[in-house]
A and B are shown apart, each in its own frame.
Chain A
Amino acid sequence: QQQVKQSPQSLIVQKGGISIINCAYENTAFDYFPWYQQFPGKGPALLIAIRPDVSEKKEGRFTISFNKSAKQFSLHIMDSQPGDSATYFCAASTDKLIFGTGTRLQVFP
């Protein structure tokens, strides 16, 4: 029940395209859903986060869509750029972060 399932494991997108990563959870006590971006050999960096009382949050090219009834949330990266190539982790939290398994995104020019 503490798991956060993330898909796909890897994603290849052409420059300018839309990258979509999906996550699902079981524990309805989770009240905070962040997305992190991690480059090789670096720590994760907070990208965007959402609370379950809203269905969508947008910051620049990054959008979180949240479906509370389905217990699913997703990250959309619009106009994907080669610099977005990284591993993305969703997470869910009450007091501790539970991470998804990660998605390796590659954006080709």
Chain B
Amino acid sequence: GAVVSQHPSWVICKSGTSVKIECRSLDFQATTMFWYRQFPKQSLMLMATSNEGSKATYEQGVEKDKFLINHASLTLSTLTVTSAHPEDSSFYICSAPRAGLYNEQFFGPGTRLTVL
């Protein structure tokens, strides 16, 4: 299958600081990437769709000014959690669809964010 990487795999930060998470498609290009959030023992919730060359599309209830998304190239999308607070602590996962018959989505390994 296709490979999607995320960096960092885990991060601990102080309340009020900003954290950037990178998502890369390593062996294919992705004009679109998706960012999800997952709380312990819960399902994945789509936060936003990252679009190369244009603004991200956010799901209802997701603060666009808090979760800044930049799709810098066909292989890189970044999510910046601004002014992080303890309630932002979660597992953040990105995915990228590989163009093909089924546009299968491949997921990154996730980033565990802990805000103290």
Name A residues whose Cβ lies closer than 8 Å to a Cβ of B: 32, 34, 36, 41-46, 49, 51, 89, 93, 96-102, 104
Contact = CB atoms under 8 A, between A and B. Distances in A.
Contacts, number: 52
A49 B102 contact: yes
Chain B interface category by residue count: 20 to 34
Interface of B: 1, 4, 6, 34, 41-46, 49, 91, 93, 95, 102-110, 112
A102 B43 contact: yes
15 contacts: A32-B102, A34-B104, A41-B91, A41-B110, A43-B108, A44-B107, A46-B1, A49-B104, A96-B46, A96-B49, A97-B46, A98-B46, A99-B44, A102-B41, A104-B41
Nearest to A49: B102
B107 A89 contact: no
A34 B105 contact: yes
A46 B43 contact: no
